């Protein structure tokens, strides 16, 4: 009787253990089959709409990683704020969209190895009107000032040499004044290929000097005119913003909550935050801001596609940045993605994707 009771208790115990193990196994299988939630924000050319799905550099890179790791996933479109909220609250497993790695963001989420080097670019509106005032501004261009200075020095030096050689002759006074101005007139007339006019060199030394002025001076004069024309053209096409130093006290639109805001504040710009980059473009096209500053890939893509002919990118790349995939803190997925990234770089798939989207940048 006692043995039967012990046997019955053992059966109940083993049945309980098997039930717990079976339930745990079912839950494990279910968790493995549950697709990952991938948060994205529309930011060309990293993430863009393509009919009923998405395309872009980030999208194609992630899908290569997911295929390598055999991951099932679904996209969840949101904004930058929503991405960080979802990751912190555990509602997303991974996120991306040209998002810059920063120490402040690392305090609330984890980043993968950076997969793209970038920086900030300046976008300005092409001008359709041209005024005399803007033409005058062109003379203050550094390269124009430099070229005019060289021309002036050449005229002064050549004029003095010609006066010393030809003074006292029929056309050049032996007195410094007005003789030096007569010599300047001769040099300038020769440089501009107008001809000698009323002054002709009489000595062979003077004629050699004329040959020198013709060969060298005409080249100098043509170069100066070319620089001035170039400066006027740029002044006509673009605003007076040529690099990040010109952004001080200017109205500059960028996306709120991004690293662009901090960079612009440090430059002394008047930041005009927008909900999206498209809103920033719209403000620029309406003339409500002087420039748009944002990540280089996004700015260049817009300038060469939708904004072609209406806007231009000016100045060099500045405030270098790095993009990474985002994960909830402590995510085990991060290490797997890092390994997959390294493999894609090694087997050449990453280079092919980069060339496809940024080869001309």
Average pLDDT over residues 357-361: 65
Residue 330 has pLDDT above 60, yes or no: yes
Pairing mode, strands 94-96 and 48-50? unpaired
pLDDT-derived band at 161 (thresholds 50, 70, 90) equals confident
The residue segments making up the domain with residue 249 are 240-320
- The percent of residues in the chain predicted with pLDDT above 90, rounded, is 44
Q: How many CB atoms lie within 10 A of CB 224?
A: 21
> How far apart (Å, rounded) are the C-alpha atoms in residues 331 and 321?
24
Of 305, 327, 268, 223, the closest CA to residue 56 belongs to 305
Looking at the structure, tell me whether residues 138 and 216 fall in a common domain.
yes
Q: Which of 74-78, 201-205, 306-310 has the lowest mean pLDDT?
A: 201-205
Question: Is 55 inside a domain boundary?
Answer: yes
- Whole-number pLDDT of residue 78: 94
Looking at the structure, tell me whether residues 204 and 290 fall in a common domain.
no
> How far apart (Å, rounded) are the C-alpha atoms in residues 278 and 276?
5
Looking at the structure, tell me whether residues 224 and 137 fall in a common domain.
yes
- Whole-number pLDDT of residue 89: 95
> How far apart (Å, rounded) are the C-alpha atoms in residues 50 and 40?
14
Q: Which of 14-23, 147-156, 250-259, 321-330 has the lowest mean pLDDT?
A: 14-23
- Whole-number pLDDT of residue 25: 41
Residue whose pair of structure tokens reads 């002064």 in the numeric block: 156
46 phi and psi angles, rounded to 5 deg: -80, -45
The enclosing domain of 266 has a CATH number of 3.40.190.10
Average pLDDT over residues 196-204: 62
Q: Which residues pair with 38 in a beta bridge?
A: 75, 94
- The percent of residues in the chain predicted with pLDDT above 70, rounded, is 75
Looking at the structure, tell me whether residues 158 and 232 fall in a common domain.
yes
Question: Is 123 inside a domain boundary?
Answer: no
pLDDT-derived band at 164 (thresholds 50, 70, 90) equals confident
- Whole-number pLDDT of residue 152: 84
Whether residue 337 contacts residue 63, with contact meaning beta carbons closer than 8 Å, is answered with no
> How far apart (Å, rounded) are the C-alpha atoms in residues 218 and 192?
6
CB contact set of 12 (below 8 Å; sequence gap of 6+):
none
Q: What is the mean pLDDT of the chain?
A: 81
Tell me 56's DSSP state.
Answer: S
The enclosing domain of 176 has a CATH number of 1.10.287.70
Residue 130 has pLDDT above 90, yes or no: no
> How far apart (Å, rounded) are the C-alpha atoms in residues 284 and 251?
10
Looking at the structure, tell me whether residues 248 and 230 fall in a common domain.
no
The residue length of the chain stands at: 361
| Helices of type H across 54-141 | 57-69, 80-89, 103-106, 132-138
- Whole-number pLDDT of residue 203: 66
Looking at the structure, tell me whether residues 289 and 340 fall in a common domain.
no
Looking at the structure, tell me whether residues 80 and 155 fall in a common domain.
no
Buried-state track 70-86, b at ≥16 Cβ within 10 A, e below 16: ebeeeebebbbebbbeb
Residues 228-260: tens digit of each pLDDT = 666 655 555 445 788 899 999 999 999 998 889
> How far apart (Å, rounded) are the C-alpha atoms in residues 177 and 86?
83
Q: How many CB atoms lie within 10 A of CB 45?
A: 22
Residue 283 has pLDDT above 70, yes or no: yes
Chain center to CA of 301: 10
Residue 11 has pLDDT above 60, yes or no: no
Looking at the structure, tell me whether residues 277 and 211 fall in a common domain.
no
Average pLDDT over residues 310-336: 93
> How far apart (Å, rounded) are the C-alpha atoms in residues 121 and 118?
10
Burial of 167 (0-12, 13-18, 19+ CB in 10 A): middle
Average pLDDT over residues 147-166: 82
Of the candidates 216, 237, 258, which is a domain's last residue? 237
Of the candidates 219, 237, 255, which is a domain's last residue? 237
Whether residue 97 contacts residue 40, with contact meaning beta carbons closer than 8 Å, is answered with yes
Question: Is 344 inside a domain boundary?
Answer: yes
Looking at the structure, tell me whether residues 333 and 313 fall in a common domain.
no
Looking at the structure, tell me whether residues 70 and 96 fall in a common domain.
yes
- Whole-number pLDDT of residue 254: 96
Cα–Cα–Cα angle for 278, 283, 285, rounded to 5 degrees: 95
* 185 vs 282, higher pLDDT: 282
- Whole-number pLDDT of residue 7: 47
Predicted model pTM: 0.54
The number of domains in the chain is 3
CB contact set of 34 (below 8 Å; sequence gap of 6+):
none
Looking at the structure, tell me whether residues 316 and 277 fall in a common domain.
yes
For 206, the enclosing helix (H) or strand (E) is: helix 204-212
Question: Is 106 inside a domain boundary?
Answer: yes
Of the candidates 178, 203, 237, which is a domain's last residue? 237
Residue whose pair of structure tokens reads 């984890």 in the numeric block: 110
What is 108-177 written as a DSSP string?
TEEE-S--EEEEEEEEEEPP----HHHHHHHTTSHHHHHHHHHHHHHHHHHHHHHHHHHTTSSSS-SSHH
> How far apart (Å, rounded) are the C-alpha atoms in residues 124 and 292?
7
Residues 41-94: tens digit of each pLDDT = 998 889 999 888 999 999 999 999 999 999 999 999 999 999 999 999 999 999
Residue 30 has pLDDT above 50, yes or no: no
pLDDT-derived band at 26 (thresholds 50, 70, 90) equals very low
Helix (H, G, I), strand (E, B) or coil at 96: strand
Average pLDDT over residues 208-221: 71
Helix axes 204-212, 142-166, angle to 10 degrees: 170
Looking at the structure, tell me whether residues 88 and 54 fall in a common domain.
yes
């Amino acid at each position: 009787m006692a043995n039967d009771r012990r046997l019955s208790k053992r059966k109940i115990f083993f049945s309980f253990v098997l039930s717990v193990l079976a339930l745990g196994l079912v839950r494990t299988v279910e968790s493995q089959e549950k697709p990952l939630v991938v948060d994205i924000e529309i930011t060309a050319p990293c993430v863009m709409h393509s009919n009923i799905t998405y395309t872009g550099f980030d999208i194609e890179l992630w899908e290569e990683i997911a295929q390598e790791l055999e991951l099932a996933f679904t996209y969840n479109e949101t904004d930058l704020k929503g991405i960080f909220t979802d990751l912190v609250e555990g509602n997303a497993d991974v996120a991306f969209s040209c998002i810059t790695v920063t120490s402040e963001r690392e305090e609330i989420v984890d980043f993968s190895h950076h997969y793209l080097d970038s920086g900030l670019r300046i976008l300005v509106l092409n001008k359709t009107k041209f005024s005399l005032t803007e033409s005058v501004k062109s003379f203050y261009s550094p390269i124009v000032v430099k070229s005019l200075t060289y021309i002036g020095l050449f005229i002064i030096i050549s004029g003095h040499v010609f006066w010393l050689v030809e003074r006292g002759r029929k056309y050049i006074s032996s007195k410094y004044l007005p003789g030096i101005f007569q010599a300047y007139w001769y040099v300038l007339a020769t440089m501009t290929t107008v001809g000698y006019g009323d002054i002709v060199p009489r000595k062979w030394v003077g004629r050699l000097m004329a040959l020198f002025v013709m060969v060298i001076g005409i080249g100098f004069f043509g170069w100066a005119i070319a620089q001035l024309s170039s400066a006027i053209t740029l002044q006509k096409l673009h605003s007076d913003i040529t690099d990040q130093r010109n952004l001080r006290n200017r109205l500059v639109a960028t996306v709120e909550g991004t690293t662009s805001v901090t960079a612009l504040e440090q430059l002394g710009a008047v930041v005009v935050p927008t909900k999206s980059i498209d809103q920033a473009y719209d403000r620029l096209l309406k003339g409500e801001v002087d420039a748009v500053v944002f990540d280089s890939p996004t700015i260049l893509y817009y300038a060469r596609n939708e904004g072609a002919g209406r806007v231009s990118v000016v100045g060099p790349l500045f405030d270098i940045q790095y993009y990474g995939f985002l994960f909830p803190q402590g995510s085990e997925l991060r290490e797997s993605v890092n390994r997959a990234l390294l493999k894609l770089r090694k087997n050449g798939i990453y280079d092919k994707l980069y060339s496809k989207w940024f080869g001309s940048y």
